[in-house]
Amino acid sequence: NAGVTQTPKFQVLKTGQSMTLQCAQDMNHNSMYWYRQDPGMGLRLIYYSASEGTTDKGEVPNGYNVSRLNKREFSLRLESAAPSQTSVYFCASSENPSQSGPLAGELFFGEGSRLTVL
Amino acid sequence: KQEVTQIPAALSVPEGENLVLNCSFTDSAIYNLQWFRQDPGKGLTSLLLIQSSQREQTSGRLNASLDKSSGRSTLYIAASQPGDSATYLCACNTGKLIFGQGTTLQVKP
């Protein structure tokens, strides 16, 4: 059981380049998330998808776009990378949306994608 | 605005010691609270999820408590082992998840 799988694990980009981070989960979860983790800033939500066919902005959505391709897959795209987007990106999934209050399920995380923008 | 604080930022203990990690939050109107473990270079692994109506949850050597009125949660680790060395994060759900910055634990053999 793979859980949440992210690709690539490492990537180096030049300023202005574009790229897509891929995420897939095999737990049949409804909700998926993209977080970034930075020293001193903790984990911050970029975008989330409460269910297939929906996406919403999180705390720090600027400079990113997402696509919920199907129930399993949720991708994060950087259209024009900037050095401020150097970070570790985590995809996560849960059975119910974390925004559903008391119904919120446990979050399961991928192993992260380490992105450096020069 | 919900703020989640974990103190201390780092902790070093000898193997076998019982220890407590702290998580405090400013808004007591939470739905649930989740504790995670993160190993270096890895993702977060869910340890325990406590609903707002619960006082504690246990899993093996781990016990998490929740006191909404005081805005505190603790993660108790019994008989610590070197394999417990990791960063531990708490996250409060007030309609969205807010993470603390974590406590990095080192258990020395």
pLDDT, tens digit, 9 for 90 and up, residues B18-76 = 999 999 999 998 989 999 999 998 999 999 999 888 999 999 999 999 999 999 999 99
In the three-class reduction of DSSP (H, G, I as helix; E, B as strand; rest coil), residue B82 is classed as helix
The reported pLDDT for the residue numbered B46 is 93
pLDDT, tens digit, 9 for 90 and up, residues B83-105 = 999 999 999 988 788 899 999 99
The reported pLDDT for the residue numbered A99 is 66
Give the nearest chain A residue to B94 (CA atoms).
A101
The reported pLDDT for the residue numbered A97 is 72
Give the nearest chain B residue to A105 (CA atoms).
B49
What letter would DSSP give residue B40? T
Cβ atoms of residues B37 and B105 within 8 Å: no
Whether residue B32 and residue A104 make contact (CB cut-off 8 A), yes or no, is: yes
What letter would DSSP give residue A100? G
From the CA of B2, how many Å to the nearest CA of chain A? 13
Q: Alpha-carbon distance B61 to A57, whole Å?
A: 38
Q: Alpha-carbon distance B24 to B92, whole Å?
A: 10
Whether residue A99 and residue B95 make contact (CB cut-off 8 A), yes or no, is: yes
Whether residue B43 and residue A90 make contact (CB cut-off 8 A), yes or no, is: yes
Whether residue A42 and residue B46 make contact (CB cut-off 8 A), yes or no, is: no
A34 is written with which tokens?
């993209």
Task: Please indicate if any CB of chain A lies within 8 Å of the CB of B102.
Answer: yes
Task: Please indicate if any CB of chain A lies within 8 Å of the CB of B59.
Answer: no
Q: Alpha-carbon distance B58 to B44, whole Å?
A: 19
Instruction: Write out chain A's pLDDT in tens, 118 residues.
Output: 679 999 999 999 999 999 999 999 999 999 999 999 998 888 999 999 988 989 999 999 999 999 998 999 999 999 999 999 999 999 999 987 766 665 677 889 999 999 999 9
Q: Alpha-carbon distance B101 to B88, whole Å?
A: 9
Task: Please indicate if any CB of chain A lies within 8 Å of the CB of B27.
Answer: no
The reported pLDDT for the residue numbered B1 is 83
Which residues of chain B are within 8 Å of residue A9 when distances are taken between CB atoms?
none
